[in-house]
Protein backbone atom coordinates (compact mmCIF):
# COMPACT_ATOMS: atom_id res chain seq x y z
CA UNK A 1 0.00 0.00 0.00
CA UNK A 2 1.27 3.47 -0.86
CA UNK A 3 1.85 5.93 1.94
CA UNK A 4 0.28 9.36 1.61
CA UNK A 5 2.58 12.10 0.39
CA UNK A 6 1.48 14.08 3.44
CA UNK A 7 3.36 11.62 5.68
CA UNK A 8 6.98 12.70 5.61
CA UNK A 9 9.51 9.92 6.21
CA UNK A 10 12.42 10.40 8.60
CA UNK A 11 15.94 11.16 7.43
CA UNK A 12 18.40 8.26 7.66
CA UNK A 13 21.86 9.35 8.83
CA UNK A 14 24.79 6.92 8.70
CA UNK A 15 27.68 8.00 10.91
CA UNK A 16 31.14 7.04 9.69
CA UNK A 17 29.92 4.14 7.52
CA UNK A 18 32.78 1.90 6.48
CA UNK A 19 31.82 -0.25 3.51
CA UNK A 20 30.11 0.91 0.34
CA UNK A 21 28.26 -2.41 0.19
CA UNK A 22 26.62 -1.70 3.56
CA UNK A 23 25.60 1.78 2.46
CA UNK A 24 24.06 0.31 -0.68
CA UNK A 25 22.21 -2.38 1.27
CA UNK A 26 20.92 0.30 3.64
CA UNK A 27 19.61 2.31 0.70
CA UNK A 28 17.82 -0.78 -0.57
CA UNK A 29 16.18 -1.26 2.83
CA UNK A 30 15.09 2.38 2.80
CA UNK A 31 13.59 1.98 -0.67
CA UNK A 32 11.66 -1.11 0.49
CA UNK A 33 9.93 1.02 3.11
CA UNK A 34 9.43 4.27 1.22
CA UNK A 35 12.19 6.34 2.83
CA UNK A 36 14.32 8.32 0.42
CA UNK A 37 16.66 10.77 2.15
CA UNK A 38 20.09 9.40 3.06
CA UNK A 39 22.82 11.46 4.72
CA UNK A 40 26.37 10.20 5.21
CA UNK A 41 28.76 11.56 7.82
CA UNK A 42 32.45 11.06 7.06
CA UNK A 43 32.24 7.79 5.13
CA UNK A 44 35.51 5.93 5.62
CA UNK A 45 36.18 5.17 1.95
CA UNK A 46 34.99 8.52 0.63
CA UNK A 47 32.04 9.23 -1.60
CA UNK A 48 30.82 8.29 -4.14
CA UNK A 49 31.68 4.63 -3.61
CA UNK A 50 31.34 2.29 -6.57
CA UNK A 51 30.56 -0.66 -4.31
CA UNK A 52 27.33 0.96 -3.09
CA UNK A 53 25.29 0.97 -6.30
CA UNK A 54 25.18 -2.80 -6.97
CA UNK A 55 23.97 -3.49 -3.43
CA UNK A 56 21.38 -0.72 -3.61
CA UNK A 57 19.54 -2.44 -6.48
CA UNK A 58 16.25 -0.52 -6.88
CA UNK A 59 17.46 2.02 -4.33
CA UNK A 60 20.14 3.39 -6.69
CA UNK A 61 18.40 6.77 -6.77
CA UNK A 62 18.85 7.07 -3.00
CA UNK A 63 22.58 6.45 -3.40
CA UNK A 64 22.86 8.97 -6.21
CA UNK A 65 21.06 11.66 -4.21
CA UNK A 66 22.75 10.97 -0.87
CA UNK A 67 24.42 13.97 0.74
CA UNK A 68 27.77 13.88 2.55
CA UNK A 69 28.78 15.84 5.66
CA UNK A 70 32.01 16.24 7.55
CA UNK A 71 30.43 15.99 10.97
CA UNK A 72 27.24 14.99 12.74
CA UNK A 73 26.22 18.54 13.68
CA UNK A 74 26.24 19.63 10.03
CA UNK A 75 24.17 16.61 8.99
CA UNK A 76 21.58 17.44 11.66
CA UNK A 77 21.31 21.19 11.12
CA UNK A 78 17.58 20.92 10.30
CA UNK A 79 16.79 18.01 12.64
CA UNK A 80 14.51 18.76 15.60
CA UNK A 81 14.02 15.20 16.86
CA UNK A 82 16.52 12.35 16.58
CA UNK A 83 16.74 8.70 17.54
CA UNK A 84 20.09 6.96 18.02
CA UNK A 85 20.03 3.22 17.38
CA UNK A 86 22.36 1.24 19.60
CA UNK A 87 22.45 -1.98 21.60
CA UNK A 88 24.94 -0.51 24.09
CA UNK A 89 23.97 2.14 26.62
CA UNK A 90 27.43 3.35 27.72
CA UNK A 91 25.94 4.83 30.90
CA UNK A 92 24.23 7.66 29.03
CA UNK A 93 21.34 9.31 30.83
CA UNK A 94 18.92 9.18 27.94
CA UNK A 95 15.37 7.89 27.57
CA UNK A 96 15.45 4.44 25.99
CA UNK A 97 12.61 3.32 23.73
CA UNK A 98 12.08 0.50 21.24
CA UNK A 99 11.85 0.87 17.43
CA UNK A 100 8.05 0.79 17.43
CA UNK A 101 7.82 3.59 19.95
CA UNK A 102 10.27 5.64 17.90
CA UNK A 103 8.21 5.04 14.77
CA UNK A 104 4.98 6.11 16.48
CA UNK A 105 6.61 9.27 17.77
CA UNK A 106 7.83 10.00 14.25
CA UNK A 107 4.45 9.64 12.56
CA UNK A 108 2.60 11.53 15.29
CA UNK A 109 4.84 14.58 14.98
CA UNK A 110 4.42 16.63 11.78
CA UNK A 111 7.58 17.44 9.85
CA UNK A 112 8.21 20.35 7.55
CA UNK A 113 11.08 22.04 5.78
CA UNK A 114 13.69 22.83 8.39
CA UNK A 115 12.04 20.59 11.00
CA UNK A 116 13.06 17.03 10.22
CA UNK A 117 13.22 13.84 12.25
CA UNK A 118 16.28 11.61 11.93
CA UNK A 119 17.24 8.02 12.64
CA UNK A 120 20.96 7.73 13.44
CA UNK A 121 23.14 4.69 12.85
CA UNK A 122 26.76 4.26 13.91
CA UNK A 123 29.69 2.70 12.11
CA UNK A 124 29.56 -1.03 11.39
CA UNK A 125 32.39 -2.09 13.68
CA UNK A 126 32.01 0.23 16.64
CA UNK A 127 28.49 1.64 16.47
CA UNK A 128 27.85 5.10 17.90
CA UNK A 129 30.28 6.58 20.38
CA UNK A 130 29.29 8.61 23.43
CA UNK A 131 29.85 11.96 21.75
CA UNK A 132 27.50 10.98 18.94
CA UNK A 133 24.81 9.31 21.03
CA UNK A 134 24.63 12.21 23.46
CA UNK A 135 23.41 14.49 20.65
CA UNK A 136 20.31 12.35 20.07
CA UNK A 137 17.01 12.90 21.86
CA UNK A 138 16.30 9.20 22.39
CA UNK A 139 18.21 5.94 22.44
CA UNK A 140 16.48 3.19 20.46
CA UNK A 141 17.20 -0.39 21.47
CA UNK A 142 15.45 -3.42 19.98
CA UNK A 143 14.51 -6.26 22.30
CA UNK A 144 16.56 -8.90 20.52
CA UNK A 145 18.26 -12.05 21.77
CA UNK A 146 20.28 -10.79 24.78
CA UNK A 147 23.02 -13.26 23.94
CA UNK A 148 23.38 -11.80 20.46
CA UNK A 149 21.62 -8.43 19.93
CA UNK A 150 23.98 -7.19 17.22
CA UNK A 151 22.55 -6.27 13.80
CA UNK A 152 24.48 -5.33 10.72
CA UNK A 153 23.96 -1.83 9.38
CA UNK A 154 21.41 -2.67 6.70
CA UNK A 155 19.40 -4.84 9.12
CA UNK A 156 19.20 -1.99 11.61
CA UNK A 157 18.10 0.43 8.90
CA UNK A 158 15.47 -2.04 7.68
CA UNK A 159 14.12 -2.64 11.19
CA UNK A 160 13.68 1.06 11.89
CA UNK A 161 12.34 1.81 8.40
CA UNK A 162 9.85 -1.05 8.59
CA UNK A 163 8.49 0.10 11.93
CA UNK A 164 8.11 3.62 10.56
CA UNK A 165 6.23 2.30 7.55
CA UNK A 166 3.86 0.19 9.67
CA UNK A 167 3.12 3.15 11.93
CA UNK A 168 2.53 5.47 8.97
CA UNK A 169 0.20 2.97 7.28
CA UNK A 170 -1.75 2.37 10.51
CA UNK A 171 -2.19 6.09 11.02
CA UNK A 172 -3.26 6.54 7.40
CA UNK A 173 -5.75 3.67 7.54
CA UNK A 174 -7.24 4.99 10.78
CA UNK A 175 -7.73 8.42 9.21
CA UNK A 176 -9.37 6.90 6.13
CA UNK A 177 -11.67 4.78 8.30
CA UNK A 178 -12.73 7.87 10.22
CA UNK A 179 -13.48 9.72 6.98
CA UNK A 180 -15.67 6.82 5.84
CA UNK A 181 -17.76 6.72 8.98
CA UNK A 182 -21.43 7.67 8.40
CA UNK A 183 -22.71 10.76 10.16
CA UNK A 184 -24.32 9.89 13.47
CA UNK A 185 -27.66 11.32 14.51
CA UNK A 186 -27.38 14.01 17.16
CA UNK A 187 -29.25 14.12 20.46
CA UNK A 188 -31.96 16.42 19.14
CA UNK A 189 -32.63 14.17 16.15
CA UNK A 190 -32.78 11.10 18.39
CA UNK A 191 -35.18 12.83 20.78
CA UNK A 192 -37.52 13.79 17.94
CA UNK A 193 -37.56 10.18 16.77
CA UNK A 194 -38.20 8.90 20.31
CA UNK A 195 -41.14 11.26 20.71
CA UNK A 196 -42.68 10.07 17.44
CA UNK A 197 -42.16 6.44 18.42
CA UNK A 198 -43.70 6.95 21.85
CA UNK A 199 -46.69 8.75 20.32
CA UNK A 200 -47.27 5.90 17.89
CA UNK A 201 -47.10 3.29 20.66
CA UNK A 202 -49.61 5.26 22.68
CA UNK A 203 -51.97 5.71 19.70
CA UNK A 204 -51.73 1.99 18.94
CA UNK A 205 -52.75 1.18 22.52
CA UNK A 206 -49.49 -0.60 23.23
CA UNK A 207 -49.37 0.47 26.87
CA UNK A 208 -51.65 -1.61 29.09
CA UNK A 209 -51.54 1.01 31.86
CA UNK A 210 -50.26 4.56 32.18
CA UNK A 211 -47.68 3.35 34.70
CA UNK A 212 -46.21 1.02 32.09
CA UNK A 213 -45.42 3.80 29.57
CA UNK A 214 -42.39 5.46 31.29
CA UNK A 215 -40.60 2.13 31.79
CA UNK A 216 -41.16 0.98 28.21
CA UNK A 217 -40.16 4.37 26.81
CA UNK A 218 -36.91 4.36 28.81
CA UNK A 219 -36.10 0.85 27.62
CA UNK A 220 -36.82 1.83 24.04
CA UNK A 221 -34.62 4.92 24.28
CA UNK A 222 -31.81 2.93 25.90
CA UNK A 223 -31.99 0.35 23.11
CA UNK A 224 -31.69 2.89 20.30
CA UNK A 225 -29.06 4.92 22.15
CA UNK A 226 -26.81 1.86 22.52
CA UNK A 227 -27.08 1.39 18.75
CA UNK A 228 -25.72 4.94 18.14
CA UNK A 229 -27.96 5.34 15.08
CA UNK A 230 -26.79 7.28 12.05
CA UNK A 231 -28.84 10.00 10.41
CA UNK A 232 -29.68 7.66 7.55
CA UNK A 233 -30.79 4.91 9.92
CA UNK A 234 -33.12 7.29 11.76
CA UNK A 235 -34.57 8.45 8.44
CA UNK A 236 -35.40 4.83 7.66
CA UNK A 237 -37.11 4.44 11.03
CA UNK A 238 -39.03 7.67 10.49
CA UNK A 239 -40.29 6.19 7.21
CA UNK A 240 -41.45 3.06 9.06
CA UNK A 241 -43.20 5.15 11.71
CA UNK A 242 -44.90 7.27 9.04
CA UNK A 243 -46.22 4.13 7.37
CA UNK A 244 -47.50 2.66 10.62
CA UNK A 245 -49.04 5.92 11.76
CA UNK A 246 -50.74 6.37 8.38
CA UNK A 247 -52.23 2.88 8.62
CA UNK A 248 -53.45 3.75 12.08
CA UNK A 249 -55.56 6.63 10.70
CA UNK A 250 -57.20 4.78 7.79
221 contacts 201 by C-beta, under 8 angstroms: no
pLDDT at 229 over 80: yes
Q: Which CATH number is 233's domain given?
A: 1.10.8
Residue 159 and residue 81 share a domain? yes
Give the 3-state secondary structure of residue 45: coil
Residue 99 and residue 197 share a domain? no
Q: What is the pLDDT of residues 49-99, one digit of tens each?
A: 999 999 999 999 999 999 999 999 999 999 999 999 986 666 677 889 999
Total of domains in the chain: 2
Residue 207 and residue 96 share a domain? no
Give the separation between CA 165 and CA 42, rounded to whole angstroms: 28
Strand order in the sheet with 11-15: 67-69, 38-41, 11-15, 116-121, 79-85, 138-140, 96-97
Q: Of 163, 180, 197, which marks where a domain is finished?
A: 180
pTM across the whole model: 0.72
Residue 94 and residue 18 share a domain? yes
59 contacts 191 by C-beta, under 8 angstroms: no
Q: Which CATH number is 31's domain given?
A: 3.40.1280.10
Residue 229 and residue 202 share a domain? yes
Residue 83 and residue 205 share a domain? no
Domain of residue 32 covers 11-180
Percent of the chain with pLDDT over 90: 62
Give the separation between CA 99 and CA 84, rounded to whole angstroms: 10
Identify the band that residue 150 occupies on the pLDDT scale cut at 50, 70 and 90: confident
Residue 48 and residue 24 share a domain? yes
Q: What is the pLDDT of residue 40?
A: 98
Amino acid sequence: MAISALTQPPVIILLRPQMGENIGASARAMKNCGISELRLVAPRDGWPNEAALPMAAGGADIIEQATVYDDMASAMSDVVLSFATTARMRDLVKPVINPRQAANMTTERPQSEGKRIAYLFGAERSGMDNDEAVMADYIVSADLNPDYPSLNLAQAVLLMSWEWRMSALAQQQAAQATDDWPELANIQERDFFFQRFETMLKDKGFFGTEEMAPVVNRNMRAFFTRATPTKQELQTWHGILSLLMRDNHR
